[in-house]
């Protein structure tokens, strides 16, 4: 076995891999527990559990076995909370060495990252509070409009159209199909 082959099959255990495992267990439990529901109520959690399990399993492979990343390129992409490693792997990304040469840049990056995480947590807390006070369709609509306008920096028009489409989808799914008047 060559050095390159050993390196490709090396398993990496990190906080990302542990998080992937926790989420995978959650989706598997969702799929398994859905069998306790009646057939009509089972469809959504079972589908979400199966699809989520497959997706997070692929993410787990990409995070745990770096040698598989070239084969799983569709999985390894940066998102809203993408890491510096994701940025290095992206084509056309800014050279990380240049960014790290500025004084205090690591502390600033860390502070910006945690500020972004905190903002998202506050948005979710606000959504949950609003959800307890008004109808779920109003809460979802307001949440989508504010998130897409203020965080994603989209236009008011796009934000409102997206919120209306999501509200209509939720109404059809929950009120009409599942008859679960939330």
Give percent of the chain with pLDDT exceeding 70: 78
DSSP state string for 118-180: HHHHHHHHHHHHHHHHS-HHHHHHHHHHHIIIIIS---HHHHHHHHHHHHHHHIIIIIIIS--
Angle at CA 78, nearest 5°, toward 6 and 53?
Answer: 70
Ramachandran angles phi, psi of 70, nearest 5°: -60, -30
pLDDT given at position 80: 44
User: Which pLDDT score is estimated for 182?
Assistant: 67
Per-residue pLDDT of the chain (182 residues; tens, 9 = 90+): 444 544 456 888 888 888 889 999 999 999 999 898 888 788 888 888 999 999 899 888 888 888 887 777 777 665 444 444 544 544 444 444 454 455 567 888 888 888 888 898 899 999 999 999 999 999 999 999 999 999 888 999 999 999 999 999 999 888 888 777 76
Model pLDDT for residues 127-136, shown as the tens digit of each residue: 999 999 999 9
Q: Hey, is 57 helix, strand or coil? A: helix
Distance in angstroms (rounded) separating the CA atoms of residues 76 and 122: 27
Q: pLDDT for 64-81, tens place per residue?
A: 888 887 777 777 665 444
The tokens describing 106, both together, are 């690591």
Question: Using CA atoms, how far apart are residues 67 and 9, in angstroms rounded to an integer?
Answer: 6
């Amino acid at each position: 076995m060559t050095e390159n082959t050993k390196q490709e099959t090396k398993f990496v255990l990190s906080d990302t891999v542990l998080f992937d495992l926790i989420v995978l267990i959650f989706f598997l439990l969702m799929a398994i527990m859905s069998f306790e529901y009646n057939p009509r109520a089972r469809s959504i959690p079972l589908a979400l559990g199966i699809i989520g399990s497959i997706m997070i399993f692929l993410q787990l492979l990409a995070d745990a076995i770096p040698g598989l990343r070239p084969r799983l390129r569709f999985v390894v992409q940066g998102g809203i909370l993408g890491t510096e490693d994701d940025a290095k792997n992206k084509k056309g990304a800014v050279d990380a060495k240049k960014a790290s040469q500025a004084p205090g840049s690591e502390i600033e990056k860390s502070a910006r990252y945690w500020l972004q995480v905190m903002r998202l947590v506050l948005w979710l807390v606000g959504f949950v509070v609003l959800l307890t006070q008004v109808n779920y369709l109003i809460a979802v609509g307001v949440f989508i409009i504010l998130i897409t306008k203020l965080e994603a920096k989209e236009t008011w028009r796009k934000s409102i159209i997206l919120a209306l489409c999501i509200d209509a989808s939720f109404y059809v799914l929950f009120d009409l199909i599942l008859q679960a008047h939330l």
